[in-house]
Structure 1
Amino acid sequence: MDLLLEDGESCRTWRLRSVPLPNGPSLKATPLPSHRLIWLERTSAAVSGGRGWGRRIVGGTFQGVLPDNPRALIRVELRGTAALRFPDPLILELADSQCRLHSSADHRPTPSP
């Protein structure tokens, strides 16, 4: 599955093996090239180059700032996750090629290195 976050004229994108569970273990997040914004509007479509079919699992919004440095910690608040029967909002953290979701009530800041 691909995780997309709108960033100006494109989407920052990561490949995850599955949807992370709130307050569950971190999942490997492999950075991918930016995706076009049109993928935020589609519910399903053919992927270019005959690579299969893409389908949106859930859409929503996020609040927070994406750092300019693609390797910097990303911490944003996600809204719209209730469709997955997850708490809403959730905190999404991406750092060191890992992705994690926290319920906002249980969120504890990640220690600084």
Structure 2
Amino acid sequence: MPRYALLRHTGAPDDPNGCHIDLLLEDGDTCRTWRLATVPQLNEEAQPAVPLPPHRRVWLEPRRAAVSGNRGWAERIHAGSYSGDLPTATDADVTLELQGDLCGFLRITNGYCFLSNP
């Protein structure tokens, strides 16, 4: 099964809040990635999901490390696997079922992320 991870990313120069969450979904040799304000919680209000460039799969493993290019510090805080298929188009809606630290249906649609009961 493909994997997912959430990273706490601090000190990114383009982040006015100083801390955000990177949501990574394994997609072949890289991970599709979105910036979230907080860790998604079951059935809470949808939050903005900003697409980011693909991240390296090494971030799916437990780690804490400096981000390349002097872009702050990241730490993996949640992880697991997902079922379902990522659409080929990177701007298409995503619906996947997460298993692991977070469980539920993850939906990314119209620039928003939402986690609901399975």
Q: TM-score, normalised by structure 1?
A: 0.83
Greater C-alpha Rg: 1
Gaps in structure 1 of 5+ consecutive residues: 83-88, 105-113
Alpha-carbon distance between aligned partners in 2 of 1:27 and 1:3, rounded to the nearest angstrom: 12
- Percent identity among equivalent residues? 47
Please identify which structure carries the higher helix content: 1
Question: Match of 1:99?
Answer: 113
Alpha-carbon distance between aligned partners in 2 of 1:93 and 1:79, rounded to the nearest angstrom: 14
Question: Match of 2:101?
Answer: 81
Aligned 8 A contact 2:61 2:76 in 1:
no
What amino acid sits opposite 1:99 in the alignment? C
Larger RCO (alpha carbons 8 Å, 6+ apart): 2
Q: Does 2:43 correspond to 1:29?
A: no
Deviations 1:71-103, CA, capped at 9 Å, x for gaps: 211100000126xxxxxx311000111000001
How far 1:15 moved relative to its partner?
0.1
Give the count of matched residue pairs: 98
Please report the RMSD computed on the Cα atoms of aligned residues, expressed in angstroms.
Answer: 1.0
Q: Does 2:43 correspond to 1:43?
A: no
Gaps in structure 2 of 5+ consecutive residues: 1-20
Deviations 1:30-61, CA, capped at 9 Å, x for gaps: 00000011111132111011221100111100
Please identify which structure carries the higher strand content: 2
Aligned 8 A contact 1:81 1:90 in 2:
no
2:69 match: secondary structure: helix
Q: TM-score, normalised by structure 2?
A: 0.79
